Amino acid sequence: MTKKLLHTTLKYYVSFSLIVMLLAAPLFFFITQLMYLHETDEALMLQKEEFELLYAPELKDKDIAVWNKWNRDIKIEKVQKIISKDTLYSHSYYNNLDKENEPYRVLNSSVTINDKPYQFSARINLVDNEDFIISILMVFTMIILILLVGLFIITKRLSITLWKPFYDTLEQIEKFEIDKSSNPKLTSNSIEEFNRLNLAINKLIEKNTRIYKSQKEFIENAAHELQTPIAIFKGKLETLLQRDDVSEEQFEILGKLNDTTTRLNRLNKNLLLLSKIESKQYNIPEEVLLNEVITNQLDFFKEQALAKNISINTDLETNTFVKTNLFLSEILISNLFLNAINHNCANGSINVALNKNSLLFSNTGLSKSLETAKLFERFSKVNPSSKGNGLGLSIIKKIAENNNWEISYNYQDKLHIFEIRF
């Protein structure tokens, strides 16, 4: 599955920020927790120092009970022995007002009041851990959300502005067809990489178009140049046929030569025709009465079909005007007929149906579907031993393409169906 480039980058951004956030949240919690406890401990120690400095010298024994009564968080208890070390610990106490346990930080230390040892214990109410975690989570969720929205907006904007030349180029290349005369115009822009891309593509297209053109010209020239030698060969062969001293055996050889020359000539003519269609010589469209084009050729092909005992049935809608070139439409029809006759079987049939939207040629023949992948390619032959040159269908396809028509092949109910949609 392919994804858009920006979605891929966005995906990485998002996963990275999520990982960072998820790791940072507990870390943040522990560090703040530590710092908070540290601060609380310092505050407790300060309270103790304050007590020792300010209150302890003035407290009388009897005041201690009063002190304990009015002080919730600092208590003084009489002990037998002085505790040598201060102890700091966390502890939960039940709060009667809230009806729940509250976390406290407690300092146990010893003080001397009136030369008697007392235990000094101070406590500070801590923020509830649960509340603390929830607030941290909320803050972090907010940050993640803002970050994601920000990333999304930034990448979106980048796709519109920064990547615009890239998408322009892409669109142009998508539209490009080497056999069409218009080349894409890739304009330069301010991004160096895209400029390089455009330059490289321009170069590539230019080179390929040049090669394609020279290839096309070569085929055209070759076919053209072949006409004269074929003409000479044909002429000589015909002259040779007229000699009195030709034996039956030699006649047979000459016959084969003659057939081959005809084939060669046909091949050459089709090549010429193909390059002519490609060169857009017949690109001037006119309103062509297609049903008439078919009926004009019908007699000839009925005669041809008769030799193979093939019947031709037609169902032509009258007044079917199609915007195309007359010459090309004639070639198209005759090639469709030729194809249907040449690849038919004895006692077969051909059906021709024409209406405003489509032209349908169906014929009997090989009792299996033809291989569709290469069907319309040049020199692809269904039956390698057939005398066809494998150009007929590519001529049909070229003409269809020239008119922007769709051509399709189907094998249905033992019929080979070629359909052209206008």
Partner 1 sequence: MKILIIEDEIEIANSIKSYLKTNDIHCETASTYQTALDKITMYDYDCILVDLMLSDGDGFTVLKELKTLNKSDGIIIISAKETLETKIEGFNLGADDYLTKPFHLSELLVRIQALVRRKKFDGNNKIEFNEIEVDTLAKSVKIGEKKIECTKKEIDLLLFLIGNKNKVLSKSAIAEHLSGDMADMLDNHDFVYAHIKNLKKKLNDAGSNDYIKSVYGIGYKWNND
Rounded to a whole number of angstroms, the minimum distance from the CB of residue 292 to partner 1 is 17
**DSSP-assigned letter for residue 58:** G
Q: In this chain, which of 75, 216, 266, 374 binds partner 1, going by CB under 8 A?
A: 266
Q: What is the dihedral of CA 240, 244, 248, 252, to 10 degrees?
A: 10
| Count of C-beta atoms within a 10 Å radius of residue 182 | 8
Among the listed ranges 9-17, 195-203, 288-296, 297-305, the one in contact with partner 1 (CB under 8 A) is 297-305
Cβ proximity to partner 1, 217 vs 259, nearer residue: 259
b (16+ CB within 10 A) / e for 267-283: bbebbbbbbbbbeeebe
Separation of alpha carbons 135 and 233, rounded Å: 98
Region binding partner 1 by CB under 8 A among candidate stretches 13-21, 164-172, 222-230, 371-379? 222-230
Q: Is 280 in the site for partner 1 (CB under 8 A)?
A: no
Q: Are 329 and 297 in contact (CB under 8 A)?
A: no
Return the percent helix, strand and coil in the chain, to nearest 5. Answer: 55, 20, 25
Stretch that binds partner 1, among 64-72, 106-114, 206-214, 244-252 (CB under 8 A): 244-252
Under the binding rule (CB under 8 A), the answer on residue 35 touching partner 1 is: no
Does 311 bind partner 1 (CB under 8 A)? Our answer is: no
Tokens of 269: 């003519």
Nearer to partner 1, 193 or 248 (CB): 248
CB of 252 to partner 1, least distance (A): 4
Sign of CA dihedral 214, 217, 223, 224: negative
- Per CB under 8 A, the list member of 27, 91, 149, 235 interacting with partner 1 is 235
Among 303, 346, 367, 404, binds partner 1 (CB under 8 A): 303
Q: In what order do the strands lie in the sheet with 358-363?
A: 311-316, 349-354, 358-363, 415-421, 406-412
Q: Which of 42, 63, 100, 238 binds partner 1 (CB under 8 A)?
A: 238
Interface residue with partner 1, options 206, 259, 287, 315 (CB under 8 A): 259
Give strand pairing partners of 125. Answer: 104
**By CB under 8 A, is residue 383 in contact with partner 1?**
no
Please identify, among the stretches 20-28, 126-134, 236-244, 372-380, the one whose residues bind partner 1 according to the rule CB under 8 A: 236-244
What span, in angstroms and rounded, lies between the C-alpha atoms of 131 and 63?
39
Separation CA 169–CA 402 (nearest Å): 26
* Stretch touching partner 1 by CB under 8 A, among 59-67, 106-114, 220-228, 414-422: 220-228
**Applying CB under 8 A, which residues contact partner 1?**
224, 227-228, 230-236, 238-239, 241-242, 248, 251-252, 254-256, 258-259, 262, 265-266, 269-270, 281, 300, 303-304, 306-308, 327, 334-335, 338, 341-342, 386-388, 392
